[in-house]
Structure 1
Amino acid sequence: MDEDSRFEAVRSRDARFDGEFFFAVETTGIYCRPSCPAVTPKRRNVRFFATAAAAQGSGFRACRRCRPDAVPGSAEWNVRADVVGRAMRLIGDGVVDREGVAGLAARLGYSARQVQRQLTGELGAGPVALARAQRAHTARVLVQTTELPITEIAFASGFASVRQFNDTIRDVYASTPSELRASAPRGGRAGRRVAAPASGIPLRLAHRGPYQAGAVFDLLADEAVAGVEEVGGVRGRRTYRRTLRLPHGTGIGVVDERPGAVRSASGAHPGGWLDARLHLTDPRDLTTAVGRLRRLFDLDADPYAVDERLGGDGRLAPLVAARPGLRSPGAADPEELAVRALVGRAQAERLVQRYGKALDAPYGSLTRLFPEPAVLAEAEPHGTLGALTAALADGTVRLDPGADRDDAEAALLAVPGLDAATVAVIRTRALGDPDVGPPGPDVPDSWRPWRSYALQHLRAAGERVGQGPFGATPQAPSCGSAADGSGSAPR
Structure 2
Amino acid sequence: MTDTASRLDDSRYQAVSSRDARFDGEFFTAVKTTGIYCRPSCPAVTPKRRNVHFYPSAAAAQRAGFRACRRCRPDTAPGSAEWNVRADLVGRAVRLIGDGVVDREGVAGLAARLGYSSRQVNRQLTEELGAGPVALARAQRAHTARVLLQTTVMPVTEIAFAAGFASVRQFNDTIRAVYARTPSELRGRSGAPAGHARAGVPLRLAHRGPYAARQVFDFLERRAIAGIEETTGTPGARLYRRTLRLPYGTGVAEVREPAAAGHGDWLDCRLHLTDPRDLSTAVQRVRRLFDLDADPYAVAERLGADPHLRAPVAARPGLRSPGAADAEEQAVRAVLGQQVSLSAAAKLGATLVAAYGKPLAAPDGTLTHVFPEPATLADAALDELGMPDARRRTLRTLGRALADGTVRLDAGADREAAERALLGLPGIGPWTAGYIRMRALGDPDVFLQGDAGVRHGLAALGAGPADAEAWRPWRSYAVHHLWTAATDRTAAKDD
Contact 1:211-1:326 at 8 Å conserved across structures: yes
Please say if 1:454 is aligned against 2:447: no
Match of 2:309 in 1: 316
Please say if 1:384 is aligned against 2:391: no
Change in Cα spacing, 1:277 to 1:328, as seen in structure 2 (3 Å) is same
Cα distance in 2, alignment partners of residues 436 and 335 from structure 1: 18
Which of 33, 39, 45 is the equivalent residue of 1:33? 39
Match of 1:294 in 2: 287
Match of 1:306 in 2: 299
Please say if 1:5 is aligned against 2:11: yes
Match of 1:419 in 2: 429
Residues 269-299 of structure 1, C-alpha deviations (whole Å, 9 max, x = no match)? x961110100000000000000000000000
| Structure 2: unaligned runs, 5 residues or longer | 1-6, 337-344, 383-391, 451-463
Contact 1:194-1:201 at 8 Å conserved across structures: no
Cα distance in 1, alignment partners of residues 159 and 37 from structure 2: 25
Query: What code does the residue aligned with 2:432 have?
Result: T
Query: What code does the residue aligned with 2:222 have?
Result: D
- CA offset at residue 439 of structure 1? 3.4
Residues 91-114 of structure 1, C-alpha deviations (whole Å, 9 max, x = no match)? 000000000000000000000000
* Pairs within 5 Å for 1:127-146: 127-146=133-152
* Pairs within 5 Å for 1:468-479: none
- CA offset at residue 350 of structure 1? 1.2
Match of 1:236 in 2: 236
Contact 1:198-1:280 at 8 Å conserved across structures: no
Cα distance in 2, alignment partners of residues 415 and 203 from structure 1: 40
Residues 365-407 of structure 1, C-alpha deviations (whole Å, 9 max, x = no match)? 0001110000000113851111111111110000001000000
Please say if 1:205 is aligned against 2:211: no
Cα distance in 1, alignment partners of residues 359 and 99 from structure 2: 25
* Pairs within 5 Å for 1:407-446: 407-439=417-449, 441-442=464-465, 443-446=467-470
Match of 1:371 in 2: 372
Cα distance in 2, alignment partners of residues 26 and 69 from structure 1: 19
Match of 1:482 in 2: none
Query: What code does the residue aligned with 1:247 have?
Result: P
Contact 1:260-1:272 at 8 Å conserved across structures: no
SS in 2 for 1:204: strand
- CA offset at residue 38 of structure 1? 0.5
Please say if 1:357 is aligned against 2:350: no
Change in Cα spacing, 1:95 to 1:457, as seen in structure 2 (3 Å) is same
Residues 68-87 of structure 1, C-alpha deviations (whole Å, 9 max, x = no match)? 00100100111100000000
Match of 2:349 in 1: 348
Residues 99-144 of structure 1, C-alpha deviations (whole Å, 9 max, x = no match)? 0000000000000000000001111100000000000000000000
Match of 2:327 in 1: 334
Query: What code does the residue aligned with 2:358 have?
Result: K
Please say if 1:18 is aligned against 2:19: no
Cα distance in 1, alignment partners of residues 362 and 129 from structure 2: 43
- CA offset at residue 259 of structure 1? 2.3
Match of 2:3 in 1: none
Cα distance in 2, alignment partners of residues 296 and 438 from structure 1: 19
Match of 1:113 in 2: 119
| Structure 1: unaligned runs, 5 residues or longer | 185-190, 263-269, 466-471, 474-491
- CA offset at residue 425 of structure 1? 0.6
Cα distance in 2, alignment partners of residues 194 and 306 from structure 1: 44
- CA offset at residue 7 of structure 1? 0.3
Query: What code does the residue aligned with 1:350 have?
Result: T
Contact 1:217-1:240 at 8 Å conserved across structures: yes
Contact 1:208-1:271 at 8 Å conserved across structures: no
Contact 1:212-1:260 at 8 Å conserved across structures: no
Cα distance in 1, alignment partners of residues 71 and 210 from structure 2: 23
CA RMSD of aligned residues (A): 1.8
Query: What code does the residue aligned with 2:101 have?
Result: V
Query: What code does the residue aligned with 1:220 have?
Result: L
Contact 2:447-2:468 at 8 Å conserved across structures: no
Query: What code does the residue aligned with 1:175 have?
Result: R
Normalised by the size of structure 1, how large is the TM-score?
0.90
Does 289-298 or 416-425 show the bigger shift?
Answer: 416-425
SS in 2 for 1:379: coil
Cα distance in 2, alignment partners of residues 327 and 257 from structure 1: 14
Contact 1:18-1:34 at 8 Å conserved across structures: yes
Contact 1:250-1:282 at 8 Å conserved across structures: yes
Match of 2:386 in 1: none
SS in 1 for 2:481: helix
- CA offset at residue 461 of structure 1? 2.5
Please say if 1:282 is aligned against 2:292: no
Cα distance in 2, alignment partners of residues 89 and 62 from structure 1: 22
Match of 1:469 in 2: none
- CA offset at residue 192 of structure 1? 5.2
Match of 1:74 in 2: 80
- CA offset at residue 170 of structure 1? 0.1
Match of 2:454 in 1: none
Query: What code does the residue aligned with 2:410 have?
Result: D
Contact 2:448-2:479 at 8 Å conserved across structures: no
Query: What code does the residue aligned with 1:452 have?
Result: S
Residues 207-236 of structure 1, C-alpha deviations (whole Å, 9 max, x = no match)? 000000000000101000000000010110
- CA offset at residue 200 of structure 1? 0.7
- CA offset at residue 408 of structure 1? 0.1
- CA offset at residue 462 of structure 1? 2.5
Cα distance in 2, alignment partners of residues 319 and 367 from structure 1: 39
Change in Cα spacing, 1:227 to 1:463, as seen in structure 2 (3 Å) is closer
Change in Cα spacing, 1:113 to 1:416, as seen in structure 2 (3 Å) is same
Q: In the comparison of the two structures, how many residue pairs are matched?
A: 454
Contact 2:153-2:192 at 8 Å conserved across structures: no
Query: What code does the residue aligned with 2:476 have?
Result: S
- CA offset at residue 193 of structure 1? 4.8
Change in Cα spacing, 1:41 to 1:193, as seen in structure 2 (3 Å) is farther
Change in Cα spacing, 1:58 to 1:260, as seen in structure 2 (3 Å) is farther
Change in Cα spacing, 1:80 to 1:368, as seen in structure 2 (3 Å) is same
SS in 1 for 2:71: coil
Does 32-41 or 344-353 show the bigger shift?
Answer: 344-353
Normalised by the size of structure 2, how large is the TM-score?
0.89
Report runs of 4+ in structure 1 exceeding 4 Å deviation. 191-198
Cα distance in 1, alignment partners of residues 194 and 266 from structure 2: 20
- Which structure is higher in helix share? 2
Query: What code does the residue aligned with 2:419 have?
Result: E
Residues 140-163 of structure 1, C-alpha deviations (whole Å, 9 max, x = no match)? 000001111101100000000111
